[in-house]
Amino acid sequence: METLILALLVGASTGLLLGLVGGGGSILTVPALIYLLGQRVGPATTISLAVVGLTAAFGSFQKYRRQRDSIRLDYALVLALLGLVGAQAGNWLNKTLPDKVTLGGFAVLMIAVAGLMLRPPKLGFVASEKLVHVRARWLRAGSIGLGLGFLTGLFGVGGGFLIVPALVLLLDFPMRYAAATSLVVIALNSLSALAGRWPLSGFDPYLAATLVVTGIAGTWAGNKFADRIPDKTLRKIFAWLVIGLGIYIGWQALK
């Protein structure tokens, strides 16, 4: 019963975070599966890919129905398609690195990215579209896609906690555009990385299903609340949550 309650809370929290800020679900799911639900790193990252991928797919569908102009499908598809290539390289490295090294790298990356998110973006999306050369912008988007795909495969994350900062800091998206667009990328990246891990060693379908169902409910609630919270506040919530979890995971990796 205790395990079931924990699973329900983890799933709901994952979905809520995805709905609020368009990412970060996996930074809750992976440590929760390891430290609260007793999963090893390999199975935990695999379950995380399934849960975050399906939850993000629901979230992106919900966003598209309510605010379709906030999703840039052209950028999402470029990031996701090139992410397919990077994810397979990340999958290979995930199987070769020791668990402590994987967790330590995950923690360092989380803290570094969250620190960048605390710095406000320089330009809004519409203004920057006119200032940045179109070809250079698409090359930058392609490079981001490869890198994010690699990290998705390596750490078992949907990449939302990286996609959102990348869109905000490198492509000058406002937070709301970044949050909505990232859900599409997260879904495609996660599910492609999951397919690359077949057969799914240690995968618990019942636990994954529980997390997906509650995650979808959390995403629905998060999308509702996100419309009422200013961009700057959303960005700070996202950044400080990532920093706190990064410190905790890093401490656990060093024990």
The pTM score is 0.67
Residue-wise pLDDT tens digits, 12-58:
777 777 666 656 566 677 777 888 777 787 788 788 888 878 878 88
pLDDT of residue 198: 76
Distance, CA of 72 to CA of 86 (rounded, Å): 21
Least confident of 47-56, 231-240, 243-252: 231-240
Per the CB < 8 A criterion, the answer to whether 149 and 90 are in contact is yes
Distance, CA of 86 to CA of 190 (rounded, Å): 12
Amino acid at 172: D
Residue 169, judged by CB atoms within 10 A of its CB (0-12, 13-18, 19+), counts as middle
Whether 243 has a pLDDT exceeding 80, the answer reads yes
Helices (H) and strands (E) in the chain, counts: 11, 0
- pLDDT classification of 8: cutoffs 50, 70, 90: confident
pLDDT of residue 130: 47
pLDDT of residue 10: 74
Per the CB < 8 A criterion, the answer to whether 181 and 167 are in contact is yes
- pLDDT classification of 158: cutoffs 50, 70, 90: low
Least confident of 33-42, 136-145, 153-162, 213-222: 153-162
Cα-based distances in Å from 234 to 49, 80, 170, 225, 237: 24, 24, 18, 11, 5
Per the CB < 8 A criterion, the answer to whether 179 and 23 are in contact is yes
Residue-wise pLDDT tens digits, 114-129:
777 676 545 444 444 4
Per the CB < 8 A criterion, the answer to whether 162 and 190 are in contact is no
Distance, CA of 91 to CA of 141 (rounded, Å): 22
Handedness of CA 105, 106, 109, 110 (dihedral sign): negative
Per the CB < 8 A criterion, the answer to whether 30 and 245 are in contact is no
Whether 2 has a pLDDT exceeding 70, the answer reads no
The full set of domain ranges for the chain reads: 2-254
pLDDT of residue 23: 60
Amino acid at 30: V
pLDDT of residue 15: 72
Per the CB < 8 A criterion, the answer to whether 67 and 180 are in contact is yes
Distance, CA of 169 to CA of 152 (rounded, Å): 19
Amino acid at 244: G
Distance, CA of 41 to CA of 43 (rounded, Å): 6
